[in-house]
Chain A
Amino acid sequence: MEAIERNLREEAKRLLAEKKVDVIVGYEAGTLPLTATPTFITDPAEAERLVWNPLCVHNLAKYVHDVITQHRNSQKRVKPESRTRKVVGVVARGCTSRSIILHLQERQYGREDIVIIGVPCQGYIDRKKLSVSLNGEEVLSGTIEGDEIKVMTGTGEKRLRLSDVLADNCITCRFNNPIISDVSLGEPASAMKAEEEFNEVNAFEQLSSDERWAYFEKEMAKCIRCYACRQACPSCYCPECFVEQSRPQWVGIGGDASDTQVFQIMRIFHMVGRCVDCGSCIAVCPMGVDLRKFLKKLDKDAFELFGSRAGSSLEDPPVLSTFKEHECEDFIYNP
């Protein structure tokens, strides 16, 4: 980990100093113990702030899209001959690189607009799991040592196994290394329990439709429609989301349960073949809504019916924007 971090800072410094990139999107230490937070580095001297460790949660492809789009918009009023390009360097692990591939396939930006600094990933810590295993006690300080986390709380020192508090999506991830990159740091990481990827969905599928709907209703009742999930999601990049349109207004903004359900159903269905299971939406949800169960079901369908995994290869186009002659159509006649 330390070696990767050292190389990462060197690489970032070099890319900025040689003007290969205008900004590096990466992670730095947060202001609270045992946290890391997204950061934007433009000055080579600031590259020292970059970190890479299991506290790095967010899928940074979202910010790559933000930065490039904002820059493009700012260029609209500039004469064509004076327009500039902004090249974004990004610290990318497996899922981040999948989102980038998706962006490239959906023509959100070009390969020349980005420099991918690939890092191997052994999963990130799920803050909610961490909090539960500490009985909700506040973390006063903490360090990660190999496979162990040492945490100080008000009642003393606790030692936790890293693998016990990793996010569910990380434990079953099969893309632990970036799929495309310009610079690749460290030794490739290996998968943990990739074969259990669909276990939870399989179990859920066994329930009756009433039971499944009851679960959906229960989870969605927690949702306060802050839209953090949508905001954190690299695949949710519409300039204006349907929930914010007012002519016509598709969903009410009051507390009606059906409005929340409509938002969620729509967002989830917009993720068919586009969700990379990075877990960002779940990580940022303040209410602990189980979105993954539903997203993963679509993921499974896209894989089992069409042999597609979102962003798993530049050559393999997104499932909903391609038609292959012999692909599965049964569900159209026999839903």
Chain B
Amino acid sequence: MEKRLIKKDALAGIPKKIRENFTVFAPVKVEDNVVFKELEPQEEPLVGHYQNTKNAPKGVFFPRTEVMMRYVRTPKGVQLKGIEMAAADAVLFGVRPCDARSFALLDLLFDQEKYKDPYYIAKREKATVVTLACARVPYRTCFCTSVEGGPLDGKGSDVLITDLGTDFLVEFLTPKGEKLGSYFEGTPASEEAEKKKEEVKQKAEGEIVSHIPAREIKPILDVNFDHPFWDTIHKKCLACGTCTYLCPTCHCFDISDEMKYDDGRRLRNWDSCMYPLFTKETSGHNPRPTQKERWRQRTMHKFKYYVDNFNAIACVGCGRCVMYCPVNIDIRKIVEDISKLQ
């Protein structure tokens, strides 16, 4: 694994250089928000000087809406038409470590040995993730260190960039990452740089002020599917799905068909366990009839079911749901409260 030091002022120009050969996704300021999106020719990516993007980058591999297939109605019956699956070579530049980690978590689900999601995999395989470590922790709501991540964590990344104060340390973590080597001109990193990185890491981890007992609540959730506690979260919830749409690890989808005259397309769209239509069956019955059961699902899915299935917590501690819930439902507090249940 190669490591290099690059000059601080060199970083800003790199995404544009990469853009000559790849589709680049990066943080861009749009009106009052910083969003993660495809970089248009005239757009300036934000590098270094932003906290985190409002939306999670998961949309690059798992878009909010995508066509799965097309079909035509003919007098002889329905004719199926495939769609173009091949994705362009892409680079995701300036992802935060928590969001990069979300890719590793989504891989567990969409790219299993037995079940493979061709739509996700086609895009994911062609993409290289360049992560910008959080040498300074951007928010007080960040709690990556409580969910097995960290502000300098490289999981899910192909290249990891860390601000050492004087230079940037660039680590090429995977063969995919190494292929981008020529864009990062610099000098080989010495042991000195290693030491410096360790210091930055210690300092950044110390800056994290939110801590939650994420692993600890698993045994409690195992035996408390029915507990009066579940009556206490959801009453003020608006069922807007902001928390799940912004969440880097939420991945539920719903499939629907749309016809225009004889042309049909099958779409998959993001779904959300916060919506009344979630798991509503054709008969009209819904096993999760109220917001109470839906919020239990959200909590269980993140801190129990995902652990059962993949031995990983489906939360990366980015804090988006905490910051953007319009009625301040705070997952940190929920986890904390669960840890205190008898």
Contact = CB atoms under 8 A, between A and B. Distances in A.
Contacts of B267: 253-254
Nearest to A259: B258
B324 A244 contact: no
A253 B328 contact: no
Interface in A25-47: 30-32, 35, 37-40
Contacts of B246: 286
Interface string B303-342: 0000000000000000000111011101011000000000
B135 to A, nearest CB: 14
Interface in B72-110: none
Nearest to A58: B327
Interface string B257-285: 01000000001010000001100000000
A268 B66 CA distance: 28
A201 B273 CA distance: 38
Interface in B223-264: 235-236, 238-242, 245-246, 254, 256, 258
Given A31-B328, A37-B328, A255-B65, A286 B276 contact: no
Given A244-B276, A286-B242, A288-B31, A255 B326 contact: no
B327 A37 contact: yes
Interface in A127-145: 128, 131-132, 136, 138, 140
Contact of A253 (B31, B32, B256, B290): B256
B71 interface: no
Given A138-B51, A138-B139, A252 B258 contact: yes
A70 B324 CA distance: 27
Contacts of A37: 236, 327-328
Given A31-B322, A31-B328, A224-B64, A40 B139 contact: no
Chain A interface extent, by class: 20 to 34
A58 B325 CA distance: 13
Nearest to B326: A284
A255 B33 CA distance: 21
B236 A40 contact: yes
B162 interface: no
A286 B240 contact: yes
B326 A38 contact: no
A144 B269 CA distance: 43
Contacts of A253: 65, 254, 256, 267, 269
B322 A231 contact: no
A319 interface: no
A227 interface: yes
Interface residues of B, number: 37
B140 interface: yes
A254 B236 CA distance: 28
B157 interface: no
Nearest to A29: B328
Contacts of A189: none
A128 B326 contact: no
A63 interface: yes
A254 B65 contact: yes
A228 interface: yes
A228 B330 contact: no
B328 A35 contact: yes
B141 interface: yes
Contact of A63 (B32, B236, B326, B330): B236
A138 B140 contact: yes
A255 B332 CA distance: 32
A254 B322 CA distance: 27
Contacts of B139: 138
A39 B236 contact: yes
B236 A38 contact: yes
Given A132-B32, A138-B140, A253-B254, A284 B238 contact: yes
A40 B258 CA distance: 42
24 contacts: A31-B333, A32-B323, A38-B327, A40-B236, A58-B327, A66-B235, A131-B32, A132-B32, A224-B64, A226-B240, A227-B240, A228-B238, A228-B242, A231-B238, A231-B239, A232-B240, A244-B277, A253-B65, A253-B267, A253-B269, A284-B238, A284-B240, A286-B246, A288-B31
Interface of A: 30-32, 35, 37-40, 58, 63, 66, 70, 128, 131-132, 136, 138, 140, 224, 226-228, 231-232, 244, 252-255, 283-284, 286, 288
